[in-house]
Amino acid sequence: MKLTRARCFVLGMLGLLAGLALLPTQGFTGGGGDEAVERTRKQTRMLDDLYKTAIVLITEHYVKGDEPSAAVAGKLLWKEMKAKGHHEVRLIDATGSPIEASNVAVDDFEKGALREILAGKASVDRVIEKDGKRFLRTATIVPVVMTKCVSCHPHYAKVPKSQAIGALVYTLPVEDR
Ligand code: HEC
């Protein structure tokens, strides 16, 4: 069958949507909490959808060959969000072979959350206190959503499709009113 350009586009879009559908937006779990924590969870869910969708779309439409990568764009963006005092985001490895050595779980929350995500959870969260302020820390699964991921991370080819290869870790202030 000869594929027209339009058909290729439609098939491409369907493939992309199927990939996006794989992104876990449900199954956020946490250890309870009050209304302010619940609002922060909702905000985190929105950011998780936003950043994961952006990374997939950038990878799909703008990444050619093996650079530049959406991960680098994400890190520049997250640096600005942190500098403006909004929130912190880290993209960390779950395979033991990060491209960038510093993209690994560094504290107790990240290490524990990664273990739970590798055991099958889609997300893990915890409220922490720092300088008298509350923060919600959340880690969400990053699976291999597209074959293109493998072109820069060849070892992902051996990971089963739904298994985590990484996690996005968020730290948001809990807005107590
Ligand atoms: C064009 C090459 C490229 C593609 C395609 C790519 N990545 Fe990456 N990825 C990188 C680079 C480079 C880094 C390290 C960026 C840094 O920290 O400076 C990285 C970092 C990561 C990390 C953090 C751990 C590590 O290895 O440093 C994860 C997780 C990750 N990528 C997942 C993915 C997923 C999932 C996809 C597919 C949607 C993907 N990558 C596609 C190049 C790529």
pLDDT for the residue numbered 9: 45
List the CATH number of the domain containing 39: 3.30.450
| Bigger pLDDT: 107 vs 30 | 107
Q: CA 5 to CA 14: how far, in whole Å? A: 14
Domain that holds residue 48: 5-173
Rounded to the nearest angstrom, the distance between the alpha carbon of 77 and the centre of ligand 1 is: 15
pLDDT for the residue numbered 32: 59
The minimum-distance atom of ligand 1 relative to the CA of 151 is: 5
Instruction: Work out the burial of residue 157: count CB atoms within 10 Å of its CB; fewer than 13 is exposed, 13-18 middle, 19 or more buried.
Output: exposed
Q: What is the pLDDT of residues 15-73, one digit of tens each?
A: 444 444 445 444 455 555 799 999 999 999 999 999 999 999 999 999 988 778 999 99
Neighbours of 47 (CB within 10 A): 19
Residues β-bridged to residue 167: 92, 141
Q: CA 17 to CA 104: how far, in whole Å? A: 29
* Alpha-helical segments (H) within 23-83: 35-61, 70-83
Helix axes 5-22, 35-61, angle to 10 degrees: 150
**Residues within a 6 A CB radius of ligand 1:** 55-56, 59, 63, 66-67, 69, 71-72, 75, 91, 93, 98-100, 103, 142, 144-146, 148-149, 151-153, 165-166
Q: pLDDT confidence of 84, banded at 50, 70, 90?
A: very high
The total of structural domains in the chain comes to 1
